[in-house]
């Protein structure tokens, strides 16, 4: 089957799947995901491993777009208002997640390295799944704002704690044979800092370019070309330089919003163009996973999945209470943050080259858990937003109603 045929099939089936699950009041993204599972190796194998690898570029673009828009949260005005509190809230949620997941895994008898690394991977929250649910519901309110802010900060924080955790594990577990401790330490430390600082710097540079150029472009089509081009530049350059494309694209968005207040329309342009990419993203995410992985998830995997959910809820509860957030945030923030996705898988895969001895265990747990959370996460987010009363669209609003 040719790739274009596949893309067409993905888009059409994704739409059908999205509509189908809407009837069940389930977020569209879950429908996309199920379509992916169906097309993937678990069932029909129309999207085999090769096809998924080839089409992966669409997922990269989708992820770049969503993080670019998340970056707009880092507007200075917004930061000044909520920056410190958001940062602290993020800290609570992350700390709660790391602590509870690591502890739970240690309790079920996992290796300490596996427990610690999984604890940090657990902090990951799928920005794209969560944001798309918020968009689908056109929600607004204190909970929505908190989720948005938290996603942006969590995104950086997650990569940072994961980097630190791998660094620590390697440090305690001993470096590679034949390298002195100092050079090993120096190299690891550099890579950790480079991954964060370099990504930000890349985003800043491209952000300046985009802002300078964008102020001279008004026409809708040209704006789209420019923004998409810059985002892809950010993603591609990150790969080339060994940086985080997530942080780079997010910084790109943040830099732009702060340099050019009038650039809001650039973000709006994207919001009208990107849904097909997100559909492809979720279908591919589904095709990536195999239902078989649930069979090997094991006790540790179940412990991980439950502990992660509890960690988010408890961390958010304590944080929101202490920082004086409204009750809706305290009650529903943690539940909104359960979505878990591709980035977590990416982190788990990174471990393969670093800790081959534990990577397989971690991969198995993450793959199974992501499969559960990719379905449960968006549904819980939708439930939480609905309970919080921040939905601004009727649940059955959509194509079916309009026909």
Partner 1 sequence: MNLKNLAHNWRYHLIILAAAVLTIVVGGYIRRSISGNEKSENSLLRTLQTEVQQLRSTLRRNELKTIQQDVAELAMGVQPRVVSIVGAKESRRPIVTLTDALPESRRVSIRDERPGGSGLLLDTEGHILTSAGVAEDPSGFIVRFGDGTERPARLLATDPAERLALLKLDRIDGLPAAAPLNAPAPPQIGGWLVRLGRGADGRNSLSMGLLTTIRKDLSGEEVYAIDAQFAPELDGGPAIDLDGGIVGINIAHGGGVTIPVDRVIRAIDRLRSRAAKSPRSAIGIELQDLTGEMKKMLSVEHGALVTRVLPEGPAAEAGIEPMDAIIFTGQEPVNSAAALLERIHAAVPGSALQLTVLRSGTTRTIEVRTVQQSSADRAGRIQPDSEFGLSLFRQRDPDGVRIVAVEPASPADRLGLRAGDRILSVNGRQIRGFAEFQRASTEPVQLWLVRRGDQTFGITIRQEGANR
CB of 47 to partner 1, least distance (A): 26
CB of 124 to partner 1, least distance (A): 24
> Which CB, 35 or 202, lies closer to partner 1?
202
Among 3, 53, 54, 76, binds partner 1 (CB under 8 A): 76
Helical ranges in 111-263 per DSSP H? 112-121, 127-137, 142-173, 181-193, 199-214, 220-241, 245-259
Residues in CB range of 310: below 8 A, 6 or more apart = 100
Q: Extract the tokens encoding 282.
A: 């979720």
87 binds partner 1 (CB under 8 A): no
Among 38, 167, 208, 267, binds partner 1 (CB under 8 A): 208
26 binds partner 1 (CB under 8 A): no
CB of 17 to partner 1, least distance (A): 38
* Cα–Cα distances in angstroms (integers) from residue 121 to residues 163, 176, 226, 363, 397, in the given order: 10, 23, 34, 11, 36
216 binds partner 1 (CB under 8 A): no
CB of 202 to partner 1, least distance (A): 6
# chain residues binding partner 1, by CB under 8 A: 19
Residues in CB range of 351: below 8 A, 6 or more apart = 117, 166, 358, 359, 362, 363
User: Whats the size of the chain, residue-wise?
Assistant: 403
Query: 317 with 107: CB under 8 angstroms?
Result: no
Residue located via tokens 């199974």 = 368
Q: How many CB atoms lie within 10 A of CB 80?
A: 9
> Which CB, 43 or 190, lies closer to partner 1?
190
Please list every residue from 178 through 207 that binds partner 1, using CB under 8 A: 187, 190-191, 194, 197-198, 200-202, 204-205
CB of 81 to partner 1, least distance (A): 12
Give Cα 52 to chain centroid, integer Å: 19
Burial of 250 (0-12, 13-18, 19+ CB in 10 A): buried
d(CA 150, CA 125): 10
Find, among 131, 242, 149, 256, the residue nearest to 187 by Cα.
Answer: 242
Among 46, 99, 241, 302, binds partner 1 (CB under 8 A): 241
* Cα–Cα distances in angstroms (integers) from residue 111 to residues 301, 304, 307, 313, in the given order: 13, 13, 16, 25
80 binds partner 1 (CB under 8 A): yes
> Which CB, 23 or 164, lies closer to partner 1?
164
CB of 113 to partner 1, least distance (A): 21
167 binds partner 1 (CB under 8 A): no
CB of 356 to partner 1, least distance (A): 12
38 binds partner 1 (CB under 8 A): no
Q: How many CB atoms lie within 10 A of CB 78?
A: 16
> Which CB, 76 or 181, lies closer to partner 1?
76
> Which CB, 203 or 315, lies closer to partner 1?
203
Contact pattern from residue 243 through residue 262 relative to partner 1, giving x for each residue in contact according to CB under 8 A and a dash for the rest: ---------------xx---
CB of 162 to partner 1, least distance (A): 18
CB of 84 to partner 1, least distance (A): 13
> Which CB, 196 or 217, lies closer to partner 1?
196
Burial of 110 (0-12, 13-18, 19+ CB in 10 A): buried
43 binds partner 1 (CB under 8 A): no
> Which CB, 112 or 189, lies closer to partner 1?
189
Footprint on this chain of partner 1 (rule: CB under 8 A): 76, 80, 187, 190-191, 194, 197-198, 200-202, 204-205, 208, 241-242, 258-259, 353
């Amino acid at each position: 089957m040719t790739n274009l045929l596949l893309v067409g099939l993905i888009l059409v089936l994704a739409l059908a799947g999205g509509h189908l699950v809407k009837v069940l009041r389930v977020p569209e993204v879950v429908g996309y995901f199920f379509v992916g599972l169906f097309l993937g190796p678990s069932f029909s194998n129309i999207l085999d491993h090769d096809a998924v690898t080839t089409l992966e570029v669409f997922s990269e673009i989708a992820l770049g777009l969503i993080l670019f828009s998340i970056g707009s949260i880092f507007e200075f005005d917004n930061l000044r208002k909520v920056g410190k509190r958001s940062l602290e809230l993020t800290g609570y949620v992350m700390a709660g997640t790391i602590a509870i997941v690591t502890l739970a895994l240690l309790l079920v008898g996992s290796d300490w390295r596996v427990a610690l690394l999984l604890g940090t991977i657990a902090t990951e929250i799928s920005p794209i799944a969560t944001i798309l649910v918020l968009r689908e519901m056109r929600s607004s309110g204190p909970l929505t704002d908190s989720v948005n802010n938290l996603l942006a900060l969590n995104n950086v924080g997650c990569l940072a704690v994961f980097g630190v955790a791998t660094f620590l594990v390697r440090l305690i577990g001993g470096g590679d044979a034949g390298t002195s401790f100092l050079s090993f330490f120096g190299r690891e430390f550099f890579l950790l800092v480079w991954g964060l600082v370099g990504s930000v710097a890349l985003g800043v540079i491209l952000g300046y370019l985009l802002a300078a150029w964008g102020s001279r472009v008004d026409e809708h089509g040209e704006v789209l070309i420019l923004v998409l081009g810059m985002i892809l530049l950010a993603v591609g350059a990150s790969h080339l330089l060994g940086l985080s494309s997530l942080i780079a694209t997010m910084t790109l968005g943040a830099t732009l919003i702060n340099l050019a207040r009038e650039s809001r329309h650039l973000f709006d342009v994207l919001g009208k163009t990107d849904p097909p990419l997100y559909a492809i993203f979720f279908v591919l995410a589904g095709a990536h996973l195999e239902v078989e992985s649930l069979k090997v998830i094991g006790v540790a995997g179940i412990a991980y999945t439950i502990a992660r959910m509890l960690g988010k809820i408890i961390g958010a509860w304590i944080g929101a209470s202490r920082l004086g957030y409204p009750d809706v945030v305290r009650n529903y923030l943690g539940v909104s943050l359960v979505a878990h996705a591709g980035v977590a898988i990416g982190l788990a895969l990174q471990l393969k080259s670093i800790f081959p001895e534990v990577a397989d265990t971690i991969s198995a747990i993450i793959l199974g858990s992501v499969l559960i959370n990719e379905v449960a996460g968006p549904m819980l987010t939708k439930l939480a937003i609905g309970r919080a009363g921040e939905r601004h669209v009727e649940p059955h609003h959509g194509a079916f109603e309009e026909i």
